[in-house]
């Protein structure tokens, strides 16, 4: 039996209600520092872990996976680390393009791309176009993403539409604002996982995750195996989601 199939067979009740998992991948730098290695070693190991989780998700019943790769606040890190991260992103796209296409993964990106270098932007557009017809797993990567920044950009665009009279006398709705978010057309996450033991959401999908369940695990991202994900999904299946009802 394939490893992913073994993991899927461990799943508990409630998996069918889980559609979208979002992950704050935290702890790469700490993982490397604890071993006396440069932080970028941890980021490279974290990218390898992404590949494993992506391959495991479909067999666990996860159709949408959104990962937080680089926030609008991460520019505050050292120039060496930021440049190293951008190189890792470019290399990941270049190396994984064929595999993602073969495995039926559709890859998309959210965040403000304007600050990213031109080569990375071109690679992002290219792999989005190449995988656009895939349906086995929807992989969304948040790069230069911040929830407040996204809401500001979306609100500005909505205000422009209102000012131009495109809504007429109709009042805008939550759905109208959602249409201007980076995640327009994506289902809201059912479950948000943060690794590394931190218990904050760090400006990740504040609008979309309003009714998501949260799981904070002490496991550092490079150590976050598909088996660990399966355990969390099993616990999710036991939760009672009421969405404000009784």
CATH number of 45's domain = 3.40.1180.10
Which active-site residues does the annotation give? 26, 74
Tell whether the model's pLDDT for residue 140 goes beyond 60. yes
- Across the chain, the runs of DSSP E, i.e. the strands, are 20-24, 64-71, 105-110, 137-145, 191-194, 213-216
Q: Is the pLDDT of residue 209 over 90?
A: yes
Residue ranges of the binding site for substrate: 27-31, 39, 43, 71-73, 75, 77, 194, 200-202
**DSSP reduced 3-state for 114:** helix
Distances (CA, A) of 139 to 40, 79, 82: 23, 28, 23
186: which residues sit within 8 A by CB, 6+ positions away? 20, 64, 66, 138, 140, 208
Which residues make up each annotated binding site? 26-31, 39, 43, 71-73, 75, 77, 194, 200-202, 213
Reported confidence tier of residue 237, pLDDT bands at 50, 70, 90? confident
Model confidence at 3: pLDDT above 60 = no
Specify binding-site residues for Mg(2+): 26, 213
Task: Quote the tokens at residue 142.
Answer: 């948040």
42 — phi, psi (to 5°)? -65, -40
Tell me whether residue 75 is in a domain.
yes
Domain presence at residue 193: yes
Residue 70 belongs to a domain:
yes
Give the model's pLDDT for residue 50. Answer: 97
The verdict on residue 165 lying in a domain is: no
Does residue 44 fall inside a structural domain?
Answer: yes
What CA–CA distance (Å, rounded) separates 109 from 112? 9
Q: Is residue 48 part of a domain?
A: yes
In this prediction, residues 151-168 reach a mean pLDDT of 96
Task: Please give the average per-residue pLDDT across 70-88, as a whole number.
Answer: 97
- What residues make up the domain containing 31? 18-146+189-236
Instruction: Work out the percent of the chain whose per-residue pLDDT is above 90.
Output: 88
In a domain, 155, yes or no: no
Res 8 pLDDT > 70: no
The DSSP code for 116 is: S
Task: Count how many domains the chain has.
Answer: 1
* Model confidence at 5: pLDDT above 50: no
Residue 139 CB neighbours (<10 A): 23
Question: Would you give the DSSP letter of residue 227?
Answer: H
Cα–Cα distances in angstroms (integers) from residue 205 to residues 14, 146, 241, in the given order: 24, 8, 19
The answer to whether position 6 is within a domain reads: no
Q: Tell me, what's the pLDDT at 243?
A: 52
């Amino acid at each position: 039996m394939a490893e992913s199939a073994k993991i899927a067979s461990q799943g508990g009740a409630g998996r069918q209600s889980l559609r979208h998992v979002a992950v704050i991948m935290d702890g790469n730098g700490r993982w490397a520092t604890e071993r006396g290695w440069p932080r970028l070693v941890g980021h490279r190991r974290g990218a390898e872990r992404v590949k494993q989780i992506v391959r495991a998700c479909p067999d666990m019943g996860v159709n949408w996976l959104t990962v937080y790769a680089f926030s609008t606040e991460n520019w505050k890190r050292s120039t060496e680390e930021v440049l190293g991260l951008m190189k890792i992103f470019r290399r990941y796209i270049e190396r994984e393009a064929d595999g993602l296409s073969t495995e039926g993964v559709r890859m998309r990106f959210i965040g403000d791309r304007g600050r990213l270098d031109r080569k990375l932007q071109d690679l992002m557009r290219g792999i989005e176009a190449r995988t656009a017809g895939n349906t086995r797993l929807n992989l969304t990567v948040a790069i230069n993403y911040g929830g407040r920044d996204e809401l500001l950009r979306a609100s500005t665009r909505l205000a422009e539409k209102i000012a131009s009279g495109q809504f007429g006398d109709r009042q805008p709705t939550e759905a109208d604002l959602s249409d201007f978010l980076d995640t327009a057309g994506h289902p809201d996450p059912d479950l948000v996982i943060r690794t590394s033991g931190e218990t904050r959401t760090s400006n990740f999908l504040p609008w979309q995750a309003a009714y998501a369940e949260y799981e904070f695990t002490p496991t550092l991202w490079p150590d976050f195996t598909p088996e660990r994900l399966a355990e969390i999904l099993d616990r999710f299946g036991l939760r009672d989601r009421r969405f404000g009802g009784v």
